[in-house]
Amino acid sequence: MRTIEWRDGVVVTIDQTRLPNEEVFLELKSLQEVASAIKEMKVRGAPLIGVTAAYGLALAAYHSKAKTRENILKELEASANVIRATRPTAVNLFWAVDRILKRAYETVGDHEAVRRAVIEEANRMADEDVEVNRRIGRNGSRLLKDGDTVLTHCNAGSLATVDYGTALAVIRSAWEEGKRVSVIADETRPKLQGARLTAYELMRDGVPVTLITDSMVGYVMAEGLVDKVIVGADRIVQDAVINKIGTYTVAVLAHEHGVPFYVAAPKSTFDLERKAEEVEIEMRSPEEVTHIGSVRIAPEGVKVLNPAFDITPISYVTAIICEDGVIYKEEFERDLKGETGTR
């Protein structure tokens, strides 16, 4: 299921706020429309946010009236700032914007050459994402045994990427290899990505999935119903994995019950120059907590806290699965200290 496509100056993507009840395709025609789609979470998931951001700049280049190289570069810088202001936590967004700008500056030639290069780079990033996710899937599937039940949080599937997913790539890959794995998806309040999106895409693929509420994670682990946890990430920093709110709770429970806790993410999600305390955790509107859909469930005027992400210390992570392989926590920590010579 490819979630995003460039069609002659139009970015076509699925509106994730309408799933699973309706499959509505959006036609994004301007940078502003892309910025709104990211802010309103019509497109969401770190890798998909990154590629959508790149396409936002491709749209800016496509519609640019600039007649000089200098002017199109100036316009791209301004457009980059619009995109950077949409959502602060997933590093893929900033990675994508920087990569497009780098390509624009490195392109030799006039404004037309820059325009073509930016669009080409955005398309390349979309294709690369699928390839990277397939590699994550192959690397991670080695960790799964026939009969395993995997708990996942939020949606780190095709819908969070261009295709195939990250955490769900591992499950898909194992399934395609003939391992009879099954999934427990927690609903992921308040935006319900687990209930709405993970359940939807696994059912479409025929992978057995059981939906639980977030408050049932302790129960299923205590009952021995979970063999492994696999989640995605919005940013992997020196000391932590930052992912959807509720991930930390799942990680602590996994630790308590001796369940391996894996994080599947591409290298574009790594931000190893930073520590967790330096990262802005997005705060979203109180209505996401006081309402379910359009139905109010809390008293008018109640004080609300709505952080969209939380921070799981690396100590709770068994290993990170990326396109280059499986990095166990100990190796990740040694690598950061420069002991393995790879950084």
Residues forming the site for ligand MRU (CB under 6 A): 44-47, 90, 154, 156, 160-161, 166, 193, 232-234, 243-244, 308
- Spatial separation of the C-alpha atoms in residues 161 and 207, rounded to whole Å: 19
Taking the complex as a whole, how short is the minimal distance between the CB of residue 25 and ligand MRU, in angstroms? Answer: 19
Measured between alpha carbons, how far is residue 166 from residues 7, 102, 179 in Å? Answer: 25, 26, 18
Is the Cβ of residue 111 or residue 284 nearer to ligand MRU in the bound state?
Answer: 284
Q: How far is the CB of 193 from ligand MRU (least distance, A)?
A: 5
Q: What angle do CA 202, 207, 213 make, to 5 degrees?
A: 60
Q: How far is the CB of 18 from ligand MRU (least distance, A)?
A: 15
210 beta partners: 184
Pick the catalytic residue: 186, 214, 234, 310? 234
* Residues in the chain, total: 343
Q: Which is nearer to ligand MRU, 117 or 151 (CB)?
A: 151
Nearer to ligand MRU, 6 or 309 (CB): 309
- Give the residue ranges of DSSP H helices in 43-177: 46-63, 69-84, 91-106, 111-141, 167-176
Nearer to ligand MRU, 71 or 249 (CB): 249
Q: Which is nearer to ligand MRU, 107 or 155 (CB)?
A: 155
Three-state secondary structure readout of 198-239: HHHHHHHHCCCEEEECHHHHHHHHHCCCCCEEEECCCEECCC
Q: State both tokens at 23.
A: 């499959």
Query: Residue 47 Cβ, how far from ligand MRU at the closest point, in Å?
Result: 5
How far apart are CB 107 and ligand MRU at their closest, in Å?
A: 30
Instruction: Tally the C-alpha atoms within 13 A of residue 329's C-alpha that lie toward its C-beta.
Output: 14
Residue nearest ligand MRU by beta-carbon distance = 232
> 């199109």: which residue's tokens?
72
Least separation in angstroms between CB 154 and ligand MRU: 4
Strands 261-264 and 319-322: parallel
- Shortest distance in whole angstroms from residue 152 CB to ligand MRU: 9
> CA-to-CA distance for 92 and 256, rounded, in angstroms?
31
Query: What order of strands is seen across the sheet that includes strand 10-14?
Result: 4-7, 10-14, 25-28
For residue 234, indicate whether it is catalytic: yes
Strand 228-231 and strand 149-152: the pairing is: parallel
Hunting for tokens 């893929």 — which residue is that?
A: 92
CB nearer to ligand MRU: pick between 114 and 254: 254
C-alpha radius of gyration, the chain, whole number: 20
Instruction: Give the whole-angstrom CA distance, residue 153 versus residue 149.
Output: 13
Cβ nearer to ligand MRU, comparing 144 with 169: 169
Residues belonging to the active site: 234
